[in-house]
Amino acid sequence: MNYPDIPILNQRFGAPGRIAFRTGEAGLPIISLVNAYGTCELSLYGGQVLSYRPTGHVPVLFTSKAAVYEPGKPIRGGIPICWPWFGPSSDKAQPLHGFARLMQWGLQATEYSSDVTEVRLALSDSELTRHFWPYAFDLTLRVWLDQRLNLALTTVNRDKRPFTLTQAFHPYFRVRQITDTTVRGLDQALYTDLLTGQTGVQQGALNIRSETDRVYLPTSPECVLQDTGIGRAIAVAFTGTRRLVVWNPWIDKAHAMPDFGDDEYQRMLCIEPANTAEDAVMLEPGARHTLSVALQASLT
C-alpha cells in the first residue's frame, strides 16, 4: 500500500500548533488535531480515530496493546468505521464489519478557527471496493474537535441502482475497571441480546458483569458512560440511527482474539451508534445519509 508523503501533507494541509501529520505504526500516516479543548489523532488507513484526549483528562479511547497495524487487517481500538455492513456479511468470505476500515482514505480538506479544528476524509468506489461491494458511492468522514469530539459519516449513492447498507461507529472507550462502570440513559430501552437471541427491557442503569453484546433502542439519542474508577463521565450523543450496540468480549472471547490482550476486557467498553439490520439505510440513486456521533467528557 502506497502512503502519501508526510512533508507534502504538512505543507498542503498542516497548520502549526493545530494540524500536523506524522508517520505512525507500520508507516501509517497519522493526522493530529489540536485546540484548547484537547487533541485527537486519526489514521488515513481505515479513516479511523485512534485517540482522543480532552484537556485535563486521561485518554478517552482504548487501543489494544496487541493491535495489528497491517494493510488488510483492522486496528483494534479507537473508533473503527463499520461500513457498508455491520457485523458479518451474508457472504462469510467477506470481512467482518465491511471494508471501509481496511481502506486507505483520501484527504479532502483541513481547517481551523479559534474553537474548532477539523479534517475531512473521503473514500469512493474503485476496482478494489467493487471486489467487496458492486456499487458506486462517495463516503465522506468529517471529524472536528471543539468542546466535544464529533464524527459525521455521509454516504452518497452514485450508482444507477438503489442500495441498502448497515453501518456503525465502533468506539472503544477506556475505563479503569469494567465492573466499576455504568451506562446511564438506557432505562426502559428495548434491547435484543445477540448472545441469546432474547429481547428485553432495560431496567435502570446498565452494569457489565459478563460478556455483553446487545442492540438497544434508547428512548433518546444519547447515553452516559459513568466511570467511578477514573472519576469521569462520557456523554455519547448520536444522529442518523435509533440504535446503540453495547459490547464487551469478557474473558473467553478476549482469550480467543489474537489482537486483544487476555485481560484487556477489564479496561474497555464499546458503545456504538449503529444502523443494524433492523434500522438499515436504503438509498436511491443520488440520495445521501449521515450517521454522526459526539463525545464529551466531564470529571465527576
CB within 8 A of 159, min separation 6: which ones?
135, 136, 137, 285
Do β-strands 206-207 and 106-112 pair in parallel, antiparallel, or remain unpaired? unpaired
Report the b/e string of 187-199 with b at 16+ CB within 10 A: eebebbeeeeeee
Q: How far is CA 214 from CA 57, 135, 186, in A?
A: 29, 30, 12
Residue 229: φ, ψ to 5°: -65, -45
The C-alpha cell that represents 265 in the structure block: 476486557
What positions carry a catalytic annotation? 170, 272
The Cα 25–Cα 44 span in angstroms is 12
